[in-house]
Protein backbone atom coordinates (compact mmCIF):
# COMPACT_ATOMS: atom_id res chain seq x y z
CA UNK A 1 0.00 0.00 0.00
CA UNK A 2 1.52 3.28 -1.12
CA UNK A 3 0.78 6.34 0.97
CA UNK A 4 0.68 9.68 -0.85
CA UNK A 5 0.61 13.13 0.73
CA UNK A 6 0.12 16.24 -1.38
CA UNK A 7 0.99 19.78 -0.39
CA UNK A 8 1.46 23.19 -1.93
CA UNK A 9 -2.04 24.11 -2.99
CA UNK A 10 -3.50 27.52 -2.33
CA UNK A 11 -5.15 30.57 -3.81
CA UNK A 12 -3.49 32.72 -6.43
CA UNK A 13 -4.49 35.33 -8.96
CA UNK A 14 -4.52 34.60 -12.65
CA UNK A 15 -1.00 34.65 -14.04
CA UNK A 16 0.46 33.43 -10.78
CA UNK A 17 2.37 30.26 -9.98
CA UNK A 18 2.18 27.38 -7.55
CA UNK A 19 4.34 24.35 -6.87
CA UNK A 20 2.66 21.17 -5.72
CA UNK A 21 4.50 18.34 -3.99
CA UNK A 22 3.54 14.73 -3.49
CA UNK A 23 5.49 12.58 -1.09
CA UNK A 24 5.14 8.84 -1.63
CA UNK A 25 5.97 6.19 0.96
CA UNK A 26 7.88 4.26 -1.69
CA UNK A 27 9.00 4.53 -5.28
CA UNK A 28 6.63 3.25 -7.95
CA UNK A 29 6.90 2.99 -11.73
CA UNK A 30 4.24 5.62 -12.42
CA UNK A 31 3.43 8.79 -10.53
CA UNK A 32 0.98 11.34 -11.82
CA UNK A 33 -1.05 14.43 -11.09
CA UNK A 34 -4.77 14.54 -11.72
CA UNK A 35 -7.32 17.23 -11.03
CA UNK A 36 -11.04 17.44 -10.52
CA UNK A 37 -13.10 20.60 -10.78
CA UNK A 38 -16.61 20.83 -9.33
CA UNK A 39 -19.10 18.98 -11.50
CA UNK A 40 -16.40 17.57 -13.77
CA UNK A 41 -14.66 14.25 -14.11
CA UNK A 42 -11.19 13.69 -12.79
CA UNK A 43 -8.63 14.33 -15.51
CA UNK A 44 -4.95 13.66 -15.94
CA UNK A 45 -2.59 16.62 -15.78
CA UNK A 46 0.93 15.22 -16.02
CA UNK A 47 2.79 12.03 -15.25
CA UNK A 48 6.33 10.88 -14.85
CA UNK A 49 7.66 7.33 -15.04
CA UNK A 50 10.56 6.19 -12.96
CA UNK A 51 12.69 6.07 -16.12
CA UNK A 52 12.16 9.80 -16.50
CA UNK A 53 9.58 9.88 -19.29
CA UNK A 54 7.01 12.62 -18.81
CA UNK A 55 3.57 13.13 -20.29
CA UNK A 56 1.33 16.17 -20.24
CA UNK A 57 -2.24 16.87 -21.14
CA UNK A 58 -2.60 19.51 -23.82
CA UNK A 59 -3.76 22.19 -21.39
CA UNK A 60 -0.65 21.66 -19.26
CA UNK A 61 1.90 21.84 -22.08
CA UNK A 62 4.09 24.91 -21.80
CA UNK A 63 2.66 26.02 -18.45
CA UNK A 64 3.16 23.06 -16.12
CA UNK A 65 6.33 21.07 -15.41
CA UNK A 66 6.37 17.71 -13.68
CA UNK A 67 9.47 16.33 -11.98
CA UNK A 68 10.60 13.70 -9.49
CA UNK A 69 13.36 13.86 -6.91
CA UNK A 70 16.45 11.66 -7.18
CA UNK A 71 15.00 9.09 -4.79
CA UNK A 72 11.96 8.89 -7.09
CA UNK A 73 9.58 9.18 -4.15
CA UNK A 74 8.55 12.80 -4.46
CA UNK A 75 6.62 14.17 -7.42
CA UNK A 76 6.41 17.88 -8.11
CA UNK A 77 4.17 19.96 -10.32
CA UNK A 78 5.33 23.46 -11.13
CA UNK A 79 2.38 25.44 -12.43
CA UNK A 80 2.92 28.80 -14.11
CA UNK A 81 0.64 31.31 -15.80
CA UNK A 82 -2.35 29.90 -13.96
CA UNK A 83 -5.85 30.66 -15.23
CA UNK A 84 -9.22 30.41 -13.45
CA UNK A 85 -9.97 27.21 -15.37
CA UNK A 86 -7.12 25.55 -13.46
CA UNK A 87 -9.17 25.78 -10.29
CA UNK A 88 -9.64 22.23 -8.98
CA UNK A 89 -8.58 19.73 -6.40
CA UNK A 90 -5.26 18.29 -7.49
CA UNK A 91 -4.55 14.67 -6.68
CA UNK A 92 -1.37 12.65 -6.76
CA UNK A 93 -1.61 9.04 -7.89
CA UNK A 94 0.77 6.09 -8.01
CA UNK A 95 0.86 2.62 -9.50
CA UNK A 96 3.42 -0.19 -9.57
CA UNK A 97 2.51 -1.65 -12.95
CA UNK A 98 4.99 -1.13 -15.75
CA UNK A 99 2.68 0.21 -18.44
CA UNK A 100 3.50 2.49 -21.34
CA UNK A 101 1.50 5.05 -23.24
CA UNK A 102 -0.58 8.10 -22.48
CA UNK A 103 -3.76 6.10 -21.94
CA UNK A 104 -2.12 4.31 -19.05
CA UNK A 105 0.07 7.10 -17.78
CA UNK A 106 -2.68 9.73 -17.74
CA UNK A 107 -5.70 7.52 -17.20
CA UNK A 108 -7.23 7.79 -13.74
CA UNK A 109 -8.53 4.21 -13.77
CA UNK A 110 -4.94 2.95 -14.24
CA UNK A 111 -3.79 4.13 -10.82
CA UNK A 112 -4.33 2.14 -7.65
CA UNK A 113 -3.16 4.61 -5.02
CA UNK A 114 -4.35 8.15 -4.44
CA UNK A 115 -3.57 11.04 -2.15
CA UNK A 116 -6.18 13.12 -0.36
CA UNK A 117 -5.87 16.05 -2.75
CA UNK A 118 -4.89 19.68 -2.42
CA UNK A 119 -7.08 22.61 -3.46
CA UNK A 120 -5.88 25.06 -6.09
CA UNK A 121 -7.96 28.19 -6.60
CA UNK A 122 -7.16 30.75 -9.28
CA UNK A 123 -9.04 34.03 -9.24
CA UNK A 124 -9.41 36.42 -12.16
What tens digit of pLDDT does each residue of 69-123 get?
988 899 999 999 999 999 999 999 999 999 999 999 999 999 999 999 999 999 9
- Collapse the DSSP code of 85 into the 3-class scheme (helix H, G, I; strand E, B; otherwise coil) and give the result: helix
Taking the C-alpha atoms of residue 31 and residue 14, their distance in angstroms, rounded to an integer, is: 27
User: pLDDT tens-digit profile of 22-55?
Assistant: 999 999 999 999 999 999 999 999 999 999 999 9
Taking the C-alpha atoms of residue 81 and residue 46, their distance in angstroms, rounded to an integer, is: 16
Write down the pLDDT at residue 13: 98
Write down the pLDDT at residue 77: 98
Amino acid sequence: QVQLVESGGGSVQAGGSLRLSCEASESTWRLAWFRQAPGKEREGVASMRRDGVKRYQDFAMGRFTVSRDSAKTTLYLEMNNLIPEDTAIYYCAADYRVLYGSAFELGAKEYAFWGQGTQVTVSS
